[in-house]
Copies of this chain bind each other. A is one copy, B any other.
Amino acid sequence: LGKFKAKVIEVARKTKTVGQEDPRRIIHSLKVGLAITLVSLFYYFEPLYDGFGVSAMWAVLTVVVVFEFTVGATLGRGLNRGLATLLAGALGFGAHHLASLSGEKGEPILLGLFVFLLAAAVTFVRFFPRMKARYDYGLLIFILTFCLISVSGYRDDEVLDMAQRRLSTILIGSATSVLICIFIRPVWAGDILHNLVANNMEKLGIFLEGFSAEYFKTSEDGQSNHDKSFLKGYKRVLSSKNSEKSMANLARWEPCHGRFRFRHPWKQYLEIGTLTRQCAYKIEALNSYLNSEIQMPIKMRSKIQDPCTKIISEAGQTLNELANAIKTMTRPSSVDSHIENSKTAADNLKALLHTGLFEETDLLEIIPAAAVASLLIHIVTCTEKISEAVQE
């Protein structure tokens, strides 16, 4: 019994976490409940039920499978479902008609052949990368509807009537989902993508700030015990490719909303995301020098500290500024000067290394310094490219 209690508390705690992480999830759940309840009114009210009969079931079914978290996903699924049902219904009716011409015996054989060919062909089309990205659900519904209409037509002579009732309930279900999804606290895939790209950039900026403090900390600090979680924030950027891609696909379904118009250049976000990720790879390499066995001697470290911290802070500011520019959708004002500054600092660092003022030291100890310096110079180039992409 004690175990059961602990389990219940555990689940309650988790529920709270999931809800707090993103309160939109709670609202989404309520919205789904509302949509399903609304659609099930078809069963309760006599006049509505008389019109549709058992087909009202399809409205409930549609809401359950169409209603998704983001507007883009809901719209995409709704449109896919509606169009696929329409097309497949027409085709299925045609197949049914064609098969029925061939007489009592030939009909099931011909129908079976049609179903086999169409199912196999459409399943294959689902492997096309482009189709998969945007029309996967529609193709599934296409197979489904074609089979249902053409096959059940074999038994049900009122196939046209049935198809029509089913189509209208599916449209009602899709429309209910889409309307509730858009008009009650909508969650836009475009917004999510927008924030994701900006936040990723910000995370890199936060890392750079933290890195500077951590790497060049004076030895007197000893074991610093302040929070190091900011050094891990960038890890998520490394594997953000798939979520960016799927959000961009969903965002393309969305109509104009907020500061975005229809056909907003979502591809641009993917490009910025790729550049940000490239920068993150460099930062991953940089991070490995924080815990490396071979550490730079302090004397050496203090020599290159000035240009390095300068580069880091300017690059960090560039990233923050760019993230901000994306968020507010304004032209960044001081990014160019930050980039200029970081370039000058990189040149200074190069010059410093050039004068060879380390001749007396062991070359092995220079390696980390050299590697860090070279990574920083690379990062400057990265931020410059990101800046160009953002400004477009």
Taking a contact as CB atoms under 8 Å apart, the answer to whether A43 and B152 are in contact is yes
Count of chain A residues near B, Cβ 8 A? 78
CB neighbors of B among A59-80 (8 A): 60-61, 64-65
Residues of chain A from 17 to 54 with CB closer than 8 A to chain B in the complex: 18-19, 22, 25-26, 28-30, 32-34, 36-37, 40-41, 43-44, 49, 54
Q: How far is the CB of A138 from chain B (nearest CB, A)?
A: 13
A366, B370: Cβ atoms closer than 8 Å:
yes
A287 CB → nearest B CB, Å: 10
A contacts with B: majority SS:
helix
Q: Is the pair A34, B116 in contact by a Cβ cutoff of 8 Å? A: yes
Nearest CB of chain B from residue A262's CB, rounded to whole Å: 26
The smallest beta-carbon distance between A380 and chain B, in angstroms, is 12
Contact check, A60 vs B151: say whether CB atoms are below 8 A apart: yes
**Stretch of A225-233, A238-246, A264-272, A319-327 that contacts chain B:** A238-246
Please tell me if A363 contacts chain B, counting CB pairs below 8 Å: yes
Instruction: Tell me if A143 is interfacial: C-beta within 8 Å of chain B.
Output: yes
Interface: A368 (CB within 8 A): yes
Given the known interface contacts A60-B147, A148-B57, A363-B353, the answer about A154 and B18 at a Cβ–Cβ threshold of 8 Å is no
In the complex, which residue of chain B has the Cβ closest to the Cβ of A129? B18
CB neighbours (8 Å) of A120 from chain B are 29-30, 32-33
Per-position binary interface string of chain A over residues 93-122, scored 1 when its CB falls under 8 Å from any chain B CB and 0 otherwise? 000000000000000100110011101110
- A148 pairs with B363, CB closer than 8 A: no
Residue of B nearest to A362 (CB): B354
CA of A370 to CA of B356, assembled, Å? 15
B contact residues around A371 at 8 Å (CB): 367, 370-371, 374-375
Given A18-B128, A242-B239, check contact A116 B285 (CB 8 Å).
Answer: no
Question: Please, which residue of chain B has its CB at the minimum distance from the CB of A26?
Answer: B124
A284 lies within 8 A of chain B by Cβ: yes
Which residues of B sit under 8 angstroms from A155, Cβ to Cβ?
43, 49, 54
Q: How far is the CA of A147 from the CA of B33 in the complex (A)?
A: 11
Closest to A126 in B: B29
- Would A116 and B37 count as touching, CB distance under 8 A? yes
> How far, in angstroms, from A30 to B370 measured CA to CA in the complex?
59
CA of A371 to CA of B117, assembled, Å: 59
Confirm or deny: A224 has a beta carbon within 8 angstroms of a beta carbon on chain B.
Answer: no
> Which listed residue, B61, B112, B154, B374, touches A368 by the CB 8 Å rule?
B374
Nearest-Cβ distance from residue A209 to partner chain B, whole angstroms: 21
**Which B residues are in CB contact (< 8 Å) with A15?**
124
**Would you give 9 A-B contacts (Cβ < 8 Å), ordered by A?**
A33-B115, A33-B120, A37-B112, A37-B119, A40-B115, A60-B148, A61-B148, A64-B140, A288-B378
A-B pairs with the 8 shortest C-beta distances? A33-B120, A370-B370, A44-B108, A29-B124, A29-B123, A33-B116, A33-B119, A285-B285
